[in-house]
A = this chain, B = another copy of it.
Amino acid sequence: MSAPLTGEQQPFPDWMQSVQTRIEAALARLLPPAEAIPALLHQAMRYASLGGGKRVRPLLAFAAGELSGAAPQNLEIVSCAVELIHAYSLVHDDLPCMDDDVLRRGRPTCHVEYDEPTALLVGDSLQSLAFELLAREDLGGAAVNAERQLAMVRLLAVASGSRGMAGGQAIDLAAVGESINLPELELMHALKTGALIRAAVMLGALCGDALSTEQDAALDRFAKRAGLLFQVVDDILDCTASTATLGKTAGKDAAAEKPTYVSLVGLERAREFAAELRSQALESLVIFGERGRRLIELTDFITRRKF
């Protein structure tokens, strides 16, 4: 717990901007060069990963890293690993056989800009690269040994796979046009978006000194509430914001007869639920005192975001 709190004086918007800039540069460096063979695949991987996105997961990792005094170099690498998994999931979700979407981050989706087979391979390759990053030899320093890195690989693999994000997608597919109840919707989201958000938080903390068992449990509680909060706000935005603001197709959940918090409990109750989740998330952070400040600010950002 000896590392200084970085950016202690930096206002939140500046801190957010600096992490986003750092992640963009790190991804550009860690992705294979656009001219490396096979060039088209590498260009498409870069297209799908660079130049956009709120970088919510990297922001969560960096904010959680403040709790354990994590080195920024380590946070960069694990943030990129999580972001590559996120980027791969978007590319595959947008495919014609899934959501069949043409717009993402204000640009044509990967299979529209390139083609379907390339987009399939882009997603597959981004996933491999994510695990390659977590196993890098330059991820380390005093706080992070090889055992810790293996724990990171396991954590990201479980969060991404059939008992995490991909499993949530499968439940989502099965739910289209079906009537599901609130606990079922919560399970779906806990896997589909929650698992990777939780992984981002836990991986960020794992980049520094070990937390106590009590702190670890509190952070896990925070991560689960924050993940669900993110999704409830997403559902609210899907039915209240415009396509231009979102940079992706608005209203598509309703159009696809997908169950959402808004469709299940209505807009007003969904907003109340978001407020409850925010409170619960913030309560979990009390144990960390001033070190939890970035996570508190980020929780408020996630609650109030407009896109």
Q: Are B131 and A153 in contact (CB under 8 A)?
A: yes
Q: With A92-B124, A146-B146, A147-B146 given, is the CB distance from A153 to B129 under 8 Å? A: no
A97 pairs with B120, CB closer than 8 A: yes
- Is B98 a contact partner of A161 (Cβ separation < 8 A)? no
Known: A129-B157, A132-B158. A117 touches B98 (CB 8 A): yes
Residues of B within 8 A of A150 (CB): 135, 137, 146, 149-150, 153
Asked if A251 is an interface residue, CB under 8 A from chain B, the answer is no
Say which residue of B116, B118, B132, B137 sits within 8 Å of A170 (CB atoms). Answer: B118
* Contact between A116 and B132, CB atoms less than 8 A apart: no
A179 at interface (Cβ–Cβ under 8 A)? no
Q: Can you list 10 pairs linking A and B with CB atoms under 8 Å apart?
A: A37-B187, A41-B170, A98-B120, A117-B173, A120-B120, A124-B160, A132-B154, A135-B151, A146-B147, A146-B150
Beta-carbon contact of A167 and B124 below 8 Å:
no
Smallest CB gap from A146: residue in B: B146
- A125 and B45: CB pair below 8 A? no
Residues of A within 8 A of B (CB): 32, 36-38, 40-42, 45, 88, 92, 95-98, 116-118, 120-121, 123-125, 127-129, 131-132, 134-137, 145-147, 149-151, 153-154, 157-158, 160-164, 166-167, 169-171, 173-174, 187
User: Complex Cα distance A166/B88, Å?
Assistant: 14
Copies of chain A in the complex: 2
- A41-B167, A117-B173, A118-B173 known; A128-B32 Cβ under 8 A: no
Task: Please name 11 further chain A to chain B contacts, defined as beta carbons within 8 Å, in addition to the given A38-B174, A135-B154, A145-B146, sorted by A numbering.
Answer: A38-B171, A96-B97, A97-B116, A98-B117, A121-B166, A124-B127, A124-B161, A132-B161, A135-B157, A146-B146, A153-B153
In the bound complex, CA of A41 to CA of B192 (Å)? 14
In the bound assembly, the distance between CA atoms of A153 and B151 in angstroms comes to 12
- Chain B residues whose C-beta falls within 8 Å of the C-beta of A129 in the assembled complex: 157, 161-162
- A133, chain B: closest CB distance, angstroms: 9
Distance A166 CA – B127 CA, assembled complex (angstroms): 11
